[in-house]
Amino acid sequence: MNDNYNKLVSRISQAAGMNVEEIDRRVEAKRAKLSGLVSKEGAAQIVAAELGINFDLERMKISELVDGMRRANIVGKVLEVFPVRKFSKNGREGKVCNLIVADESSNIRVVLWDTHHISLIEEGKVGIGDVMEISNAGVRQGELHLGGFSDIKKSKEVLDSVVVKKNYSERLLKDVKPGERLKTRAFIVNVFEPRYFEICSECNKKVIEGKCAVHGNIESKKRALLSVVLDDGTENVRGVFFGDEIKKLGLSDEDIFSLEKFSMKKTGLFGEEKIFLCNSRISQFSNKIDLIIEDVNDVNPNELIKELETRV
């Protein structure tokens, strides 16, 4: 069982005055009745509703949030504010903005879609260090999404100790779900040629036909994207490296931006076993899970032995 499920079941157990084993039994019975078509977390939420437990008006810790929640309420401190982005979809123009918000239990990406919420960022009314109260937000792929019926406002609460470091859960590749931050030990079994693109030297947004959507004609910087296939013996998944993260495979700029040099280097990557820290996302092209690689570490045999000894 994953961490989120355990925390959710524990919360239901406390609210219902029932032991965890009984809640877990009901969850498994509910999944069986629904032919396994819902996740354990989803089944747990159904069980909670049947027991008369409603989390809609209840404040939760960030670590307790589970995918599928539609009216999540939290209080957290803003750690990071990303630039507002414009987009065009199905002939409609819009804006989106991302924040990283933390409490004493964890941190999460918050996605703002409503123009009123976004204006708070554009006008400088919300910034790094502010403590915010968020309500009626939806949880999707490990992110908190705010729409027109959601609310975000400053809180008078003081949060001195919040989780700044990203949290990664250890996962086998066969068990990875969208929206997870995960740590996995796997082999590189395939490496593709890098794809190159240009970004704005001012805001790091992608430059299209020599122009930045924000700064217009401006000096650009060349960046690369590298795709690999990872395999841990249970499943194989595409891993994606962006920019300087590629260098963590032992490649220099010269190796990355020269296809001739890259072709000589890439064979040395085949069969490499590494520990990968990633975010999981559903690819809009393949509709399968992609791992966005954030860090890479060598496998330390001594640490691995100690870890295995603790599990015996």
Domains of the chain, by residue range, sit at 1-54, 56-165, 169-311
Domain 169-311 adopts which CATH fold?
OB fold (Dihydrolipoamide Acetyltransferase, E2P) (2.40.50)
> What is the pLDDT confidence band of residue 1, given thresholds at 50, 70 and 90?
very low
Over residues 218-234, the mean pLDDT reads 92
Residue 227 · residue 188 · CB < 8 Å: no
| Nearest alpha-carbon partner for 236 in 174, 168, 280 | 174
Residues 6 or more apart whose CB falls under 8 angstroms from that of 158 comprise 131
| Nearest alpha-carbon partner for 213 in 96, 85, 112 | 85
The pLDDT of residue 148 is 92
β-pairing verdict for 131-140 and 92-102: unpaired
Architecture of domain 56-165: Beta Barrel (2.40)
> What is the pLDDT confidence band of residue 208, given thresholds at 50, 70 and 90?
confident
The pLDDT of residue 153 is 95
The pLDDT of residue 118 is 95
| Nearest alpha-carbon partner for 194 in 216, 230, 223, 235 | 223
Tokens of 72: 């999540």
The domains spanning 56-165 and 169-311 adopt the same CATH topology: yes
- Tell me the percentage of the chain whose pLDDT exceeds 70: 96
Task: Indicate whether 274 pLDDT > 80.
Answer: yes
pTM: 0.60
Element (H, E) at 303: helix 301-311
> What is the pLDDT confidence band of residue 65, given thresholds at 50, 70 and 90?
confident
